[in-house]
Amino acid sequence: MIGIDNEVRRFKEGNHLEKAFTEKYGHAAEFIAVAPGRVNLIGEHIDYHGYSVLPMALSQSIRIAVSSNDSSQLHISNTSGDKYKDYSGSISDLDIKKGSAPSWHQYVLCGIKGVSENVKNSEDLLGMNFLVEGQVPPNAGLSSSSALVCCSALATTQANKLSFTPSELASICASSERHIGTEGGGMDQAISFLAEEGKAKLIDFDPLKSSNVVLPQQVVFVVAHSGVEMNKAATADFNTRVAEGRLGVQILAVINNLEWKSMKKAKELQKALKRSTKEMLALVAETFHEEPYSLSEISDLLEISAEDLHSQHLSASVQHLRSFELRKRLRHVFTEAARVEAFRDTCEGGGDLSGVQSLGDLMHDSHVSCRDDYECSCPELDELVDLMMKNGAYGARLTGAGWGGCAVAMVAKGSEDVFLRCLKKGFYEKDEEGRKRMDDALFVTAPGAGAHVVFPRDDLDNVELPPPNNFY
């Protein structure tokens, strides 16, 4: 039972979430589900193309205190009830609406729906009472929304005494989050379930697996919020990048006489062509022009009508678009995939100073590519990354989807206090709004643990654990 003793002790010793649950529902919580946020060290916007990524879990997490009920009703509340309204509904009628700015409880429903879609008798799922507490800053590129989906799925699994492996739940949650309209690739869910304390993870897809990456001992990572919030489900920016990459892949498939309609990921194409990443970059350069492509150009290259392209190959969230960047998007995908491999190889090669600087260079090159080729940065992120580099970071980059949210910097251990003071003075103390958010927006982090369940100590002898997995 991994980590249960320390977690149970914290629960027993006056856990404020447990107390708040009792005040809300009039009885004690049966358990608390925990799922961490994450910071992606390198490998941005390539998980949905099938390429490996290299994140680590944060110590900050989403926590849900849970009890079951026999009414088949869901009751979902938040400890920040002034910001997030309560929700109640039937567990047999999970109404998830795609569209702009989804309500917070929709992410909770995604996790429950994912579990219900993967059990034989979904109508037998118990009603549940949830009280949610969020420690991961929202809309910050730290995967708060995916952590909420993962935590909800884990809570549903435990409440119903079901058995899924961490990898199975990660895949379930990656699929179920798409109910809300975001076409992600699975990195956020994978690290939330597969993380181990003290270790970063190389996450591979198709099939999903992870391997430990030992980071240099002489560095720490600093996360800083740009002040610009970005909910990737609330705009078309994220899904536009997915569509642009997919269209570029399909055009390359047509040109190379491959069946293209089912090909959606750059790694699938690379495997089919049996080419190296360097050769794929050359192919992109010789095939696409720098200017955006119109719908008619793309339909001609795919040898289908513009109407069929629009109706059959573009998701609803991007059907308003009339032009697409192809060359720059694929250039980012292939160079970023190469950077992830180089980052892993450098970590495996040891932690001397030249290796640490090489890791920093890869991180900064990643930011430049996100800024210039994927165009998912923003002026505030660019300013923050520049300030990090000027104040001694080995490397710095945006992390998460971008268009706002956070940047992450790798700095020498022992220098973090001075580094934090420089960021406060140079970025946050420039205006009143920055000063207000400074304490919550800036922190040092280390790799945290993955999703798990905790119980009150007094109840341990009476807890019916499901078949062994890695959540306890």
Gyration radius of the chain over CA positions = 22
Amino acid code (one letter) for 16: H
Asked about 365 being catalytic, the answer comes back as no
Looking up tokens 């207000």, which residue turns up?
A: 436
Can you list the positions of beta strands (E) in 43-104?
54-69, 73-78, 87-90
CB 155, CB 145: distance < 8 Å: no
Cα-Cα-Cα-Cα dihedral sign, residues 367, 372, 373, 374: positive
CB 33, CB 11: distance < 8 Å: no
Contacts of 424 by beta carbon, 8 Å cutoff, 6+ apart:
438, 442
Q: In the chain, what is the straight-line distance between the N-terminal and C-terminal CA atoms, in Å?
A: 5
* Three-state SS at 248: helix
Identify the CA nearest to 188 among candidates 229, 227, 140.
140
Catalytic residue among 5, 47, 188, 373: 188
Identify the CA nearest to 100 among candidates 219, 211, 227, 238.
238
Distance CA 129, CA 132 (A): 10
Edge-to-edge strand list for the sheet holding 219-225: 395-399, 406-412, 219-225, 442-445
CB 187, CB 40: distance < 8 Å: yes
Contacts of 345 by beta carbon, 8 Å cutoff, 6+ apart:
none
* Three-state SS at 71: coil
Active site (catalytic) residues: 188
